Chains A and B, each alone.
Chain A
């Protein structure tokens, strides 16, 4: 069988490498060579070959076209690989690159574009600007495709023989060491080395820069950088700065005789430069505004009766509004119509923050999706029926591969992380859960999910509508927990778009008789008066590790720990700990586990204090609903642990989630939300002081 030996030198390493190619010497091409170098960033190198020039004798000839034959002497090819200028192969990111090599995320499995070989050829020949020789291009493309396929196979084989991710899992290594292992593995094959980088510039100073006439994919899969969120950016580009107001201003006079309440909720916007006005958040059925029909969610409130809000703080505006609403007589509202006609269908620029899940569970699935290390849950083991615990249904529903579309959505100017559409929920229930004879029943079920707090409407509408966005109640509270806890400084940008900031407070502005049915749900739950956080923490972390407070204060850290959490949870799962461990850590982001170190299984510690019945990993299906509120949020844990609290009150939790880590600077004072939802000016101000959306219900 024909074989070609290629001896190649890597940059300035002394000892050359030898590879054998099962290709006849006279047919061997650069592509063949690159193929066997598949574990090296071939796109980053220039390839020089020992060649014979008629005038100069032996030379190093650069070859860049993949289909070019390699100069061969006595069945041997001698090559030098030199890092190309501008090509980067930073040691730091290689480890992460390794993650990218893991199997692609499930949801994209089988996509055509999944396994792309890194390819980049800084060949001067192809850089004739815009005037590519067509055939050349084509052949190159097809060639590369061919190679991609082959490479695919290789990789599959390698993955089978050498399950990197699996090994990590089995060892239960903490993520750090896992990646160290990974990178050292890479290093041993010696292609990344900071020295090399230094050499690069010198060696490649003679090389030509790559061309602008084409762009070529280099990475098989783009990997997301885990950027730190920057609070600074949040303030420099606020939604106020770049939103647009409609010039369409209308004044609506409402007869309050016939409709006993106004029926709007409002959202206040503000940033560090001041208040940004108040907007209609939602409109309730049966109210005067709904009956009139001209005012819509998103409209900016400019004036009520003869009081112009123009020079008023949001705080004052709300106070005035409340006063006016409480008086008798017609009310006239002047609004600037919402700019976006169909906000849902529009892509809205995220203000200063990625639309990236910040709640632990979603982060985990997100990370898992990126690394491909998505924990699998055997759904078939738990056939869901209408009789199943609702919490179980909700949990399955939230699994990344549940089939329910959960993603960040924009509503008005607000990002709603991991939101679902009501109709999707109903469909999902109807198709995935046994026992519904009609879709209507599934709808009813969804409605009771809302009532029981498993689903939450963004502005707390209590009637279920298929046209509305919902978030999962428990997830949301843990989200707040994270946000609130992580705040060592102005709220992280992520909160900017939350319709329900931690210390939101609903004002109950009744005008005569109010919509009694709605009031119930909006009424405050007995608020666990300012939680001495200490109660929660020591419980959870006997002797917090020294690194704890700073870590907690850094929102960026939570990203890091997110990925860490995913690894960890996987570890605990496949190492045989109960299913609940995997499940709960999914939810809890492995925050606790992570701090406790690799040895600790998640389930034990968690069930300790929150789940009387869930001890010992009896499986998530049996967990009481209250557990769903645990999340990564110490605060909600605290509330869950509090005796006498009703188990399911995500709303309250949202309120209660405030405050900083023990020992850390108090972030925001625990808002003393009074039992009856009166508008406390102070806390309102506090809410306005951070760039959160503010929600006030006026009923």
Chain B
């Protein structure tokens, strides 16, 4: 299935030494796991990661370190003859945010793995969007044959499993990962099997983190309300505290369960399972352990009375202060409407909903995340500032696709918006037929 890899990475990659490598040769060499390393030479944390990643890479590929150079040239790939043992066919590709080619070259030179060519800026952005990268350094692992994300949080893997013992770190069911005793803040301990039949909120949080403390206060209320409404619901606190004392102090405010602080391995596995990079994060699971929403925090803040619990994601969101952060996650279709006109935002929602549902379903079938989020934006300060930020025409309704991370916008400035127009717009966007304007 080199098709996937080529679609993802293009035809050529380069080695640190500067030789080109055909992407299709990767699958020929039996690469089964692909790590995408998002970084930048200017970032000291990236430099630090590079060092530990190099050690990890060397260990995992076997000490003979079959380089990517596939034999040719003086690069680290000279030892291609030493075929790594089958289960450890890992390749890493560095995806750089560098703005200066010389710095990039200097940085890449020491890398034993491959890199996306410097000039492939566009592809870099696409990768950022596709995998919703929000931070550097980031390391994600993909199944090289199917393209499925194996682990979003490669950094944790490197830290927690430096020997690669748990390779290939594929996702496991929640039930399996959570298995073990859970605590209440009164010291009582119960088995994770008691979660059977409940919706579960997995709450990643820490006391040192001010936004977490804020959310906890809200969440305590939400938890109570959901329970009072007769729902079977439990929250499990997965601490990111820096000491057990902090954990205890923080947990004492929480009426729900926690993974014991001492069970670091389980906490880390949960982090990895959901690719947690920032806190607070609240992930809501259905009783089968399947993710309903990763945006539990937004939902809790938005829906104080928890009327919409368990917060199945809506195909179309109304843009609000609290969900606007999602605008940064990747391309978003935003339909601006004149909310003074009663019913127009509702009408707008109904207009794009079928299209959104179609796209979401299509990508879900491929087990991929939808490439677009869908928003309807009324008129408020938030919207005004978004318009300001993106410098949009002062018109409503106005159909746009905003891609914050690519700093691109696509504006459909027409007077009348019909489903056909929206659909064509979206399809053109996905087919990359639209011409982006800079934000």
- Give every chain B residue within 8 A of A309 (Cβ-Cβ): 208
Using known A-B contacts A144-B415, A241-B211, A355-B388, determine if residue A341 contacts B397 with beta carbons closer than 8 Å.
no
Give the docked Cα–Cα distance between A354 and B380 (Å). Answer: 9
Of A113, A141, A243, A337, which contacts B413 at CB under 8 A?
A113
- Give every chain A residue within 8 A of B246 (Cβ-Cβ): 310
Give the docked Cα–Cα distance between A584 and B410 (Å). Answer: 39
Contact B325 A349 (CB under 8 A): yes
> Can you list the 8 inter-chain pairs with the closest CB atoms, starting with the nearest?
A354-B381, A244-B278, A293-B44, A294-B44, A355-B385, A212-B347, A215-B397, A276-B210
Docked complex: A331-361 residues within 8 A CB-CB of B? 336-337, 339-342, 345-356
Docked complex: A224-248 residues within 8 A CB-CB of B? 224-225, 227, 237-238, 240-248
Say whether A265 faces chain B, with CB atoms less than 8 Å apart: no
Contact B395 A215 (CB under 8 A): no
In the assembled complex, 11 residue pairs joining A and B whose CB atoms fall closer than 8 Å, in A order, are A88-B341, A113-B413, A215-B348, A215-B397, A215-B417, A217-B397, A248-B155, A310-B246, A345-B404, A347-B390, A355-B388
Contact string against B for A residues 74-90, beta-carbon threshold 8 Å, 1 for contact and 0 otherwise = 00000000000011100
Give the docked Cα–Cα distance between A36 and B405 (Å). Answer: 47
Contact string against A for B residues 319-348, beta-carbon threshold 8 Å, 1 for contact and 0 otherwise = 001101101100000010110111110111
Of A132-140, A150-158, A423-431, the one touching chain B:
A132-140
Of A294, A300, A311, which contacts B45 at CB under 8 A?
A294
Give the docked Cα–Cα distance between A354 and B279 (Å). Answer: 26
16 additional A-B residue pairs with CB within 8 Å, beyond A214-B419, A339-B278, A408-B385 = A209-B343, A213-B418, A215-B417, A216-B416, A217-B395, A217-B415, A242-B321, A242-B325, A243-B211, A244-B281, A247-B279, A277-B210, A302-B242, A310-B208, A340-B134, A345-B407
Of A212, A237, A248, A342, which contacts B351 at CB under 8 A?
A212
Say whether B209 faces chain A, with CB atoms less than 8 Å apart: yes
Say whether A222 faces chain B, with CB atoms less than 8 Å apart: yes
Contact B404 A354 (CB under 8 A): no
The residue in chain B whose Cβ has the minimal distance to the Cβ of A334 is B242
Contact B351 A112 (CB under 8 A): no
- Give every chain A residue within 8 A of B217 (Cβ-Cβ): 273
Using known A-B contacts A213-B351, A240-B210, A346-B405, determine if residue A113 contacts B395 with beta carbons closer than 8 Å.
yes
Contact B405 A211 (CB under 8 A): no
Contact A137 B212 (CB under 8 A): no
Say whether A186 faces chain B, with CB atoms less than 8 Å apart: no
Say whether B214 faces chain A, with CB atoms less than 8 Å apart: yes
Give the docked Cα–Cα distance between A652 and B366 (Å). Answer: 60
- Give every chain B residue within 8 A of A214 (Cβ-Cβ): 351, 416-419
Docked complex: A125-182 residues within 8 A CB-CB of B? 130, 132, 134, 137, 140-141, 144-145, 148
Say whether B396 faces chain A, with CB atoms less than 8 Å apart: yes
Contact B385 A354 (CB under 8 A): yes
Say whether A307 faces chain B, with CB atoms less than 8 Å apart: no
The number of residues on chain B lying at the interface, defined by a beta carbon within 8 Å of a beta carbon of chain A, is 82
Say whether B382 faces chain A, with CB atoms less than 8 Å apart: yes
Contact B415 A216 (CB under 8 A): yes
Of A211, A247, A355, which contacts B276 at CB under 8 A?
A247
Say whether A407 faces chain B, with CB atoms less than 8 Å apart: yes
Contact A347 B327 (CB under 8 A): yes
Of A210, A222, A224, which contacts B343 at CB under 8 A?
A210
Contact B44 A292 (CB under 8 A): yes
- Give every chain B residue within 8 A of A580 (Cβ-Cβ): none
Give the docked Cα–Cα distance between A227 and B340 (Å). Answer: 13
Say whether B271 faces chain A, with CB atoms less than 8 Å apart: yes
Number of cross-chain contacts by CB at 8 Å: 222
Give the docked Cα–Cα distance between A219 and B337 (Å). Answer: 11
Say whether B146 faces chain A, with CB atoms less than 8 Å apart: no
Contact A137 B211 (CB under 8 A): no
Contact A336 B389 (CB under 8 A): no
- Give every chain A residue within 8 A of B404 (Cβ-Cβ): 345-347
Contact B211 A213 (CB under 8 A): no
Say whether A269 faces chain B, with CB atoms less than 8 Å apart: yes
Docked complex: B397-425 residues within 8 A CB-CB of A? 397, 402, 404-405, 407, 413-420
- Give every chain B residue within 8 A of A246 (Cβ-Cβ): 135, 277-278
- Give every chain A residue within 8 A of B396 (Cβ-Cβ): 217, 219, 222
Of B211, B348, B384, which contacts A240 at CB under 8 A?
B211
Say whether A109 faces chain B, with CB atoms less than 8 Å apart: no
Say whether A18 faces chain B, with CB atoms less than 8 Å apart: no
Contact A144 B416 (CB under 8 A): yes
Using known A-B contacts A246-B277, A247-B278, A273-B214, determine if residue A132 contacts B207 with beta carbons closer than 8 Å.
no
Residues of B in contact with A (beta carbons under 8 Å apart)? 43-45, 48, 97, 134-136, 155, 206-215, 217, 240, 242-243, 246, 249, 271, 276-281, 297, 301, 321-322, 324-325, 327-328, 335, 337-338, 340-344, 346-348, 350-351, 354, 379-382, 384-386, 388-390, 393-397, 402, 404-405, 407, 413-420, 439
- Give every chain B residue within 8 A of A240 (Cβ-Cβ): 210-211, 214
Using known A-B contacts A246-B135, A341-B135, A349-B324, determine if residue A212 contacts B214 with beta carbons closer than 8 Å.
no
Contact A221 B394 (CB under 8 A): yes
Q: In whole Å, how far is A363's beta carbon from the nearest beta carbon of chain B?
A: 13
Docked complex: A62-105 residues within 8 A CB-CB of B? 86-88
Docked complex: A278-321 residues within 8 A CB-CB of B? 292-294, 296, 300, 302-303, 308-311
Q: In whole Å, how far is B305's beta carbon from the nearest beta carbon of chain A?
A: 15
Q: In whole Å, how far is A237's beta carbon from the nearest beta carbon of chain B?
A: 5
Say whether A681 faces chain B, with CB atoms less than 8 Å apart: no
Give the docked Cα–Cα distance between A536 and B375 (Å). Answer: 49
Contact A219 B338 (CB under 8 A): yes
Contact B207 A310 (CB under 8 A): yes
Contact B351 A341 (CB under 8 A): no
Residues of A in contact with B (beta carbons under 8 Å apart)? 86-88, 108, 111-113, 116, 119, 130, 132, 134, 137, 140-141, 144-145, 148, 209-219, 221-225, 227, 237-238, 240-250, 269, 273-277, 292-294, 296, 300, 302-303, 308-311, 336-337, 339-342, 345-356, 407-408
- Give every chain B residue within 8 A of A216 (Cβ-Cβ): 397, 415-417
Contact A237 B322 (CB under 8 A): yes
Contact B417 A132 (CB under 8 A): no
Give the docked Cα–Cα distance between A217 and B344 (Å). Answer: 11
Contact B240 A247 (CB under 8 A): yes
Q: In whole Å, how far is A300's beta carbon from the nearest beta carbon of chain B?
A: 8
Q: In whole Å, how far is B214's beta carbon from the nearest beta carbon of chain A?
A: 5
Contact A137 B420 (CB under 8 A): yes
Give the docked Cα–Cα distance between A145 and B402 (Å). Answer: 26
- Give every chain B residue within 8 A of A277 (Cβ-Cβ): 208, 210
Of B278, B335, B384, which contacts A224 at CB under 8 A?
B384
Of B136, B344, B354, B381, which contacts A215 at CB under 8 A?
B344
The residue in chain B whose Cβ has the minimal distance to the Cβ of A141 is B416
Give the docked Cα–Cα distance between A275 and B396 (Å). Answer: 40
Using known A-B contacts A130-B354, A214-B418, A245-B209, determine if residue A346 contacts B393 with beta carbons closer than 8 Å.
no
- Give every chain A residue within 8 A of B215 (Cβ-Cβ): 241
The residue in chain A whose Cβ has the minimal distance to the Cβ of B336 is A222
Of A119, A132, A222, which contacts B395 at CB under 8 A?
A222
Q: In whole Å, how far is A263's beta carbon from the nearest beta carbon of chain B?
A: 15
Q: In whole Å, how far is A40's beta carbon from the nearest beta carbon of chain B?
A: 17
- Give every chain A residue within 8 A of B297 (Cβ-Cβ): 242
The residue in chain A whose Cβ has the minimal distance to the Cβ of B413 is A113
Which of B301, B388, B397, B413 has the most CB atoms of chain A within a 10 A radius of its CB? B388
- Give every chain A residue within 8 A of B271 (Cβ-Cβ): 247
The residue in chain B whose Cβ has the minimal distance to the Cβ of A87 is B341
Contact A339 B321 (CB under 8 A): no
Contact B214 A241 (CB under 8 A): yes
Contact B277 A119 (CB under 8 A): no
Give the docked Cα–Cα distance between A337 and B382 (Å). Answer: 27
Give the docked Cα–Cα distance between A276 and B155 (Å). Answer: 27
- Give every chain A residue within 8 A of B382 (Cβ-Cβ): 349-350, 354
- Give every chain B residue within 8 A of A354 (Cβ-Cβ): 381-382, 384-385, 388
- Give every chain A residue within 8 A of B390 (Cβ-Cβ): 347
Give the docked Cα–Cα distance between A342 and B388 (Å). Answer: 19
Give the docked Cα–Cα distance between A349 and B386 (Å). Answer: 8
